[in-house]
Amino acid sequence: MNKFKLFAFILVVSTIIFASYSVFFTSTSDETYYTRAVVVDPKSDIEDFIESETDDVQVVNVRILEGLYEGKEIIAKYQLSYNYSGQYNSIKLSQGDEVFIQLLVDENNFLTEAYVVEIARDKYLLYLLLAFAFSLVLVGRSKGIRAIISLFITITAVIKILLPAILKGYDPVLVSVVVCILIICISLLIVSGFNRKTFSAIIGTTGGVVLAGIIAIIIGSLAKITGLGNDEAQMLIEMPQQINFDFSGLLFSGIIIGTMGATMDVSVSIVAAIHEIKINSPRIKSVDLLKAGMNVGKDTMATMANTLILAYTGGSLHLMLLLMANDTPFSQIINWDMISSEILRALSGSMGVVITIPITAFAACIVEERGANKNMNNYRRR
C-alpha cells in the first residue's frame, strides 16, 4: 500500500509539472496556432534560407497530433544553422521525432504554411524526473520520499509565490528572503522532523542566506552593478506589461535563492555531527563541542564553495570561451556588468556558506546544551 501511495504521489507531481506545457502551446490568434506533431517523413530536401548565409531549411512531412487539425499530414519547414566548417549546429529531424509547429491559416481556416519551432523534449525530461524520484526513494527510503515532497514544495513556492509577487512589483529582495525562510523551515521540518537538530539547522541556514544577501547588496551597490548585463534582463525591459523591475534587486534575489541549497547542506551536516557527539559524549564541554562542529564545517566548506563557484563557471562556459578566443584583456572583462554580476553571485554565495558554519555551530551547541540540561532536570524530578 505504501508503495502504491508513493507511485501515485510521483505520478501526480510529474503530471502537474508537465501538464503546464499545454499553456504555452495553445492558440494565440485567429491566424497562428502552435501545436504538437510527429515527423512522418523527414525527406531529404534541404533548401537555402534566403535571409541568412549560414542557415538552411529542412523540409519535413509531419502529422498533427492535437487540436483543430489533429490527424492531418502537412509539409513543414525546419530552419537549420551551420558553422563555418559546413557542419550543422542544429540537429536534423528524423522519422518519429515529436516537434512543436507553428501553423499559419487564412480567414477560412485553411492551412497556408507550417514551421517547426522546437523539438518536443518534455517526454524525455519526464523520464529523467521519474528516474530521479526513483533513485531518491531507492537510496533514501522514507528520507527520499520526504526529499521529493520537500522539492515539490520548493518548486511550488518559487512558481506560485516568488515569481508572481515579483511580477506584481513587490521588492524582489524582501520577497526572496521571506520565500527562502519559508522553504528552509518547511523543507527541514519535512526532512528532519520537529526536533532540536531542525531548529539549529533553520537558524544556521537562515543566517547564512540572509548575510550572503546583505554582502551582495553592499558590494553590488558600491560597485554600481545594475543587473542588466544579460539578455534575459534586457528582454524584461521590453515586456508588454510594462512592469518597473528593480534589476539590481533581481540580481540580489537570485543570489539569495542560489545560496540556500549549499548553506542548507552545510548546516544540516554540522548539526547532525554535533547532535551525535552530544548523545555519545553527554559530558563533553561546550567549547569542545563547538570545536567539533567547526571542524565538520571546515571539512565541508571547501567542497561547498567549489560547488558554487563551479556551478556559476559552468553556466558561463560559452562566454568565457568567447572572451578567451577574442583575447579580451582581463581588466576589461572583470569590469563588465555581466561578468561582475557573476563574480558577485559566486563569491557572495560562497561567503554565505562560510558564514553558515560558525552560526550553525554556535546555535547547535546552545540548543544541544539546553536540551541536555532540560533532560537532566526532568530526570532528577523523577
pLDDT in tens, 128-145: 999 999 999 999 888 889
Q: What is the CATH number of the domain that holds 281?
A: 1.20.1640
Residue where a domain terminates, one of 120, 151, 174:
120
What whole-number distance in Å separates Cα of residue 18 and Cα of residue 130?
12
Residues 110, 192 within the same domain: no
Bridge partner residues of 77 (DSSP): 59, 115
What percent of the chain has pLDDT above 70? Answer: 82
Could you tell me the pLDDT band of residue 57, with boundaries at 50, 70 and 90?
Answer: confident
Q: Contacts from 241-246 at CB under 8 Å and sequence distance 24+?
A: 241/167, 243/167, 243/169, 244/169, 245/166, 245/172, 246/171, 246/172
Position 106 in a domain: yes
Rounded to 5°, angle at Cα 337 from 336 and 339: 65
Flag whether pLDDT at 16 surpasses 80: no
Position 345 in a domain: yes
Residues 157, 282 within the same domain: yes
* 268 exposure class (CB count in 10 Å sphere: 0-12, 13-18, 19+): buried
Q: Which of 43, 84, 82, 80 has its CA nearest to residue 61?
A: 43
Residue where a domain terminates, one of 86, 120, 154:
120
Position 95 in a domain: yes
Position 18 in a domain: no
Question: How many distinct structural domains can be found in the chain?
Answer: 2
Could you tell me the pLDDT band of residue 125, with boundaries at 50, 70 and 90?
Answer: very high
Q: Which of 267, 281, 292 has its CA nearest to residue 200?
A: 267
What whole-number distance in Å separates Cα of residue 377 and Cα of residue 273?
24
Q: What is the CATH number of the domain that holds 58?
A: 2.40.50
Flag whether pLDDT at 7 surpasses 70: no
What whole-number distance in Å separates Cα of residue 249 and Cα of residue 227?
8
What percent of the chain has pLDDT above 90? Answer: 38
What whole-number distance in Å separates Cα of residue 209 and Cα of residue 351?
10
Average pLDDT over residues 88-114: 83
- What is the per-residue pLDDT across 266-292, written as a single tens digit (0 to 9) for each? 999 999 999 999 888 888 888 999 999
Position 155 in a domain: yes
- What amino acid occupies position 34? Y
Rounded to 5°, angle at Cα 340 from 167 and 249: 25
Flag whether pLDDT at 6 surpasses 80: no
- What is the per-residue pLDDT across 208-241, written as a single tens digit (0 to 9) for each? 999 999 999 999 999 999 888 777 887 887 776 6
Residues 114, 192 within the same domain: no
Q: Are 154 and 187 in contact (CB under 8 A)?
A: yes
Residue where a domain terminates, one of 120, 154, 176:
120
Residues 154, 185 within the same domain: yes
Flag whether pLDDT at 17 surpasses 70: no
The mean-pLDDT minimum among 279-283, 288-292, 319-323, 357-361 falls in: 319-323
Residues 293, 231 within the same domain: yes
Mean pLDDT, rounded, of the chain: 81
Residues 109, 208 within the same domain: no
- What is the per-residue pLDDT across 157-171, written as a single tens digit (0 to 9) for each? 999 999 999 988 899
In this structure, the dihedral spanned by the alpha carbons of residues 181, 185, 186 and 190, taken in order and rounded to 10 degrees, is 150
Could you tell me the pTM of the whole model? 0.76
Residues 177, 38 within the same domain: no
Flag whether pLDDT at 46 surpasses 90: no
Residues 113, 163 within the same domain: no
Position 69 in a domain: yes
The mean-pLDDT minimum among 8-17, 60-69, 104-113, 192-201 falls in: 8-17
Residues 216, 310 within the same domain: yes
95 C-beta neighbours (distance < 10 Å), count: 12
**Host domain of residue 58:** 31-120
Residues 253, 111 within the same domain: no
Average pLDDT over residues 288-310: 84
Q: Are 34 and 102 in contact (CB under 8 A)?
A: yes
Residues 161, 115 within the same domain: no
Q: What is the pLDDT of residue 204?
A: 94
Position 347 in a domain: yes
Residues 99, 167 within the same domain: no
Position 12 in a domain: no
Q: Which residue has the higher pLDDT, 373 or 80?
A: 80
